[in-house]
Amino acid sequence: MRKPKRPWLFGLFPLTVAVATGGACATDGNRGSVPLDRAAAAAAVTSVLDALHHNASVANEASYFALFAPEGVFFGTDAMERWTVDQFRAYAHPVFERGQGWTYVLREGTRNVDFDPTGTVAWFDEILDNENYGETRGTGVMRLIGGEWKIAQYHLTIPVPNELAGDLVAMIRGRNAP
């Protein structure tokens, strides 16, 4: 008995080779897939993050929000702070309109950037310093859209040392008690 042909398997071959060899390709407009230059892509992602922090610091609302993907989401330090780009912009607009912003300064050597096998999604983490909050951590995801890296998700947290976690959890539970 003859086995049925499976021509769809041949379509999986390039993906299998790319994943198995650790290779990554990015879609570049009409040219199709091209090998990912990780150093250049990491520099581009870094540039977006640097611009994000700079624009927030100088209250440049238009440039700040232009860095987000249309479906972007921002998570603030409070558990209730989950905003779409439009919601976050509505929150931030009065602050930026007053010429105020927020300043987070990257700690040297603390930013990490990684990519998915296609080279079109990046994720990052960074340690930042802020005058009010002290040490913070930013993590997130970017997507390559039209040749530009855009922030699809940014999450700002305040890292809690393990030895303080128990007391902090007790304080939060006490605040939320009925």
Would you give the DSSP letter of residue 2? P
Region 77-94 average pLDDT: 97
89 contact partners, CB below 8 Å, separation of at least 6: 61, 65
The per-residue pLDDT for range 11-42, each reduced to its tens digit, is 443 433 333 334 455 554 444 555 679 999 99
Q: Considering the entire predicted model, what is its pTM?
A: 0.79
Domains, the chain: 25-176 (3.10.450.50)
According to the model, what pLDDT value does residue 4 have?
46
Region 61-67 average pLDDT: 98
Please return the burial class of 89, using the count of CB atoms within 10 Å of its CB with bins 0-12, 13-18 and 19+. Answer: middle
